[in-house]
Each structure stands twice: as C-alpha cells, then as structure tokens.
Amino acid sequence: MAETRTTRPPRTKRPVRQLMAASVGNAVEWYDWYAYTFLAAYIADAVFPKGTGDSLVPLLSTFAVFAVGFFMRPVGGLVMGAVADRRGRRAALTVTILLMSGSSLLVGLTPTYASAGPVAPVVLVAARLLQGLSVGGEFAASTTFLVESAGPGRRGLFSSFQYVSTTAGQLVASGMATLLVDTLAERSMDGWGWRVPFWFGGLLSLVGFWIRRGAQETRSDEQRRAPRPGLFEALRRHPRASLLIAGITAGGTLAYYTWTSYLPTYAELNAGVAKSDALLAGTVSLAFFGLLQPLGGLLSDRFGRRPLLLFFGLGFALLCVPLLHALDGSFAVLLVVQMAGMVLLTGFTSVSAAVNAEVFPPRVRAAGIGFPYSLAVALFGGTAPYVGTLFKQWGHAGLFPWYVAALCLLSSLVYLRLPETAHRPLHR
C-alpha cells in the first residue's frame, strides 16, 4: 500500500488554485508579448530610421524583430521544457515569468534611434530574444502543468484555460493600447506613451511570480526518482510525436496570429480602417474569443478533440479568403469578420494544450511539447505579420488570405489521421 501511494501521481487538492497559478502567470506573460504587437507602429517610428523614403520599411523592421523573438521560442521550449521535466513544472514556471519581467522592462527602456543610433534596435532585439525564450518555455511548462492538474474527463476544460489566460493578457494589452491612443496626443504617444505598457508589464510579472510560488507540483514521485531525461531525448525517442505536434500546430498558429494580432494592421493597410477602430474591434473580439474557450474545452471532453480540430481547419480553409476579402473599411464589417474567425479558431485553441500533452509520456512531456510546437509557431505564426506586410509591399496583398487557407487545409489532413485521445487516461 505504501509503495502504491509513492508511485501514483500527486492528487490536485485545489484545482482552482492550480488554474489560477497557471492562468495568472500565463496572462502576464502574454500581456508583455502582445503589447509589442499592438504598439508596433509606434516602436517602428522610435527605434528604426526612415531613410529610404518608404513608410513601410520601419514597420517591416519592427515585424522582423517580432519574428526574431519567435525564433527564440523553440530554444525556450526545449530548454525550459527540460527544466520542467527534470526539476518540476513549478520551477520552470517560476523562471519563465522572471525572464519575462526583465525583458518587458528592457523593451520599455529601449532608447530611440535619434538618441542612440544603431544601439536602439540592438537593445530591442535583445529584449525580444529574452521574451521569446520566456514565452517558448512558458507554453511547454504551463500546458503540461494545466493538463496534469485536471481531473478525469476535464483535460479539455483545463487545457482551454491556456488560451483563456493568453487572451486575457492580450485583451489587457489591446485595451491599454487603445486607451493610450485615444487619450494621449500623437506627440506624447510617439515620445513616451508606447513605453508605459512595458513598464507596467514588468511589474505585473512580479505579481505572477508571487502567485506561482504557491502552486502544487504535478510530477509524480516516480518521475522525481527516475533518471533525468536528456535535452534531446524527446526528439530522439519520439520523432513521430514531434512531427505530429508540428503538423497539428502549423495551420492553427498561422490563423491564430493572423486573427488575434495582425488583423488590425492588415485592416489598416488593405481596407483603410482607422487605427483606433481597428484596435477597438480587436479588443471586443478578443473578449468574445476568451469566453468561447471553456465551451470548446467542454465539447472536446464530451465529443473528442478531432471533431473540433476539423471544424477549425476545414472552416478556415473554406472561409478565410472570403472573410478577409469582405473588409471594406468599416468598423462593423471588421468586427463581424474578426468574431467569425474567432468562432472557427476556438476549435483549435481550446484543445491545443490537451492534444499536445496527450501525445507524449510524462518523462519528456514538457520538452517534447515545447520544441516542435514553438518551432511551428516560429515558422508560421511569428512570420504572419511580416509575410502579410511583405505581400502588401510587393503589391499582392490578396495572396495572404490564400496562404492562410492553404496551410489550414494541410493541417486538416493531419487532423483526419489523428488518433482520438480525449477518452483515454493520461499517461502518468
């Protein structure tokens, strides 16, 4: 009897507290990450020179730095995932939020190009690299932590809080950006206003750190006693699972970052929507999106993960082009387009964490999720704003919706062959 108690996974006595520990910290992490996206135009004016005479060049430079941060995420997913598998999920979550606090403050303190010359973009790149390391590790650790904290038949519901909290952070970032744009004069916004969200984010990260210190570890006693896995053990021993996660993620991450991050900029560049209207539509649709996530998680616990993934993938493959082509410059049309996309997107986001965690065994679960997921996000999600803006600069903005639709169709082929894992016990 004693041996049985030491080898079984720890019971989560306070599931609500576990959700809070993961969700609050995750929200803070993503608030810091997305504040950069919503304020990209102001950062471009402050940090990058305008010597070419092309107004899109600074914005392209800013989105290029956005993409650079994404390419640090696979490193964070691998390294911090290994920390979670070796030292525990809670230890990894503590490190990631401290990294995000420091990187957010660094973005807020980045000098302007006028005052520091080339040093300014160097500091910004360094800050984004740290943010990428933190966010890549955050997804690996928090996904594992959330799903392992769930009771029987509730993994989908718990996993949906990955994007509930992500959306909450994004919503606060969008709301703050909207408030600053609407209340500050353009000169103040260009000078110091864009820095305020990053200073605030650095302080919020410390609050998240304090909350996470009280979380319960989800690794079993058996895992703690077992030899520590190697850094690349998940890739070496589970190559098919790694490829599966990359295929599941590719279309979903491109659609996600297009709809939740890039669409306001896309609407400004291609449909003439006012900047304040674009930010407001993004904020309203994000609130709607966050409310949908638990519903998607509950549906997946009852009917399975695969039906929701196919709803997303085939829905986007068929509707992405007509939805984006429907934008006509009005606030109402933009809001309808965004909310329609959010409904479809929920089929992916509400189950993503559960599907990923159910693919790998517990010994290498965090690192196994972190690297292929973050690599797919870097290749397709992180480059979405840059690719969309680049199509615009080349004079072929209409090709971008087809690019999103095609990748979602390819991911749908993966979903069709995906084994259903919703009603199987989670490997401990």
Is residue 3 included in any domain, yes or no?
Answer: no
Terminal Cα distance for the chain, rounded: 18
Return the structure tokens found at 373.
């997921």
The CA distance from 408 to 312, in Å, is: 8
| Residue 53 belongs to domain with CATH number | 1.20.1250.20
37, 198, 229, 391 from 43: Cα distances, Å: 9, 12, 41, 21
Say what the pLDDT of residue 307 is: 96
Structurally, the chain folds into a number of domains equal to: 1
The CA distance from 279 to 263, in Å, is: 9
Say what the pLDDT of residue 318 is: 96
Q: Which residues of the chain have pLDDT under 70?
A: 1-13, 50-60, 63, 66-67, 220-227, 427-428
| Four-residue CA torsion sign, 349, 350, 355, 358 | positive
Say what the pLDDT of residue 51 is: 57
Is residue 5 included in any domain, yes or no?
Answer: no
Residues 6+ apart with CB under 8 A from 336: none
Classify 281 in phi/psi space as left (phi over 0), alpha (psi -120 to 50) or beta: alpha
Residue type, 346: T
Is residue 348 included in any domain, yes or no?
Answer: yes
Is residue 4 included in any domain, yes or no?
Answer: no
What angle (nearest 5°) sits at the alpha carbon of residue 245, between those of residues 241 and 251? 150
Which one, of 372, 371, 367, 369, lies nearest residue 85 by Cα? 367
The CA distance from 164 to 180, in Å, is: 24
Say what the pLDDT of residue 3 is: 36
H or E element, residue 337:
helix 331-359
Is residue 321 included in any domain, yes or no?
Answer: yes
Is residue 428 included in any domain, yes or no?
Answer: no
221, 269, 400 from 325: Cα distances, Å: 54, 13, 10
Residue numbers of the domain that contains 280: 15-214+221-416
Is residue 425 included in any domain, yes or no?
Answer: no
Say what the pLDDT of residue 39 is: 83
What angle (nearest 5°) sits at the alpha carbon of residue 208, between those of residues 245 and 31? 60
The CA distance from 228 to 93, in Å, is: 18
Report yes or no: 205 and 100 within 8 Å, Cβ to Cβ: yes
Report yes or no: 321 and 401 within 8 Å, Cβ to Cβ: yes
How many H helices and E strands in the chain? Answer: 21, 0
Classify 19 in phi/psi space as left (phi over 0), alpha (psi -120 to 50) or beta: alpha
